[in-house]
Amino acid sequence: MSAEWTRTDLNAIDRNDEVGISSYRSDGTLRPYVTIWAVEADGHVYVRSAYGATNPWYRRALASGRGSIRVAGVAHDIDFVRADATEEPAVDDGYRAKYGARYASIVAGIVGDSAHDVTLRLEPSAA
């Protein structure tokens, strides 16, 4: 069972355009962090692969199921969980609200049906 994000953690994610994401290797070490956008919706944290399901960081995250998010210099162990269809509208809204005004052309490619298959919910690891 996963833990919950604190309001302080969620606020940090909201305030920072970019976060670092890493997944664990089979030997238990973390891969190098990849810079990515993250949004908060309904108390959860989500990321999407802007370059689809073949993006290396995304494939490694799915294969490992565990990793780390680093935001504002603070790292948290996480579990990567596929988002379900009921979560997608709020995630789309989160990307539009956080990034749409400044990066409209990029956001257009990471919202909607084509992006839903590559949405991961980041859950704080309970361990």
Backbone angles phi, psi at 65, to 5 degrees: 80, -10
Alpha-carbon dihedral angle through residues 72, 75, 80, 83, given to the nearest 10 degrees: -30
pLDDT at 3: 81
pLDDT at 127: 61
pLDDT at 47: 97
For 32-90, the pLDDT digits (tens) are: 999 999 999 999 999 999 888 999 999 999 999 999 999 998 999 999 999 999 999 99
For 99-123, the pLDDT digits (tens) are: 999 989 888 888 988 889 999 999 9
Type of residue at 26: S
For 6-21, the pLDDT digits (tens) are: 999 999 999 999 999 9
- Distance CA(60)–CA(82), nearest Å, equals 13
Domains observed in the chain: 7-124 (2.30.110.10)
Whether the model clears a pTM of 0.85, i.e. scores above it, the answer is: yes
Backbone angles phi, psi at 67, to 5 degrees: -170, -150
Alpha-carbon dihedral angle through residues 4, 85, 51, 111, given to the nearest 10 degrees: -100
Answer yes or no: is pLDDT of 126 > 90.
Answer: no
Are the C-beta atoms of residues 5 and 79 closer than 8 Å to each other?
no
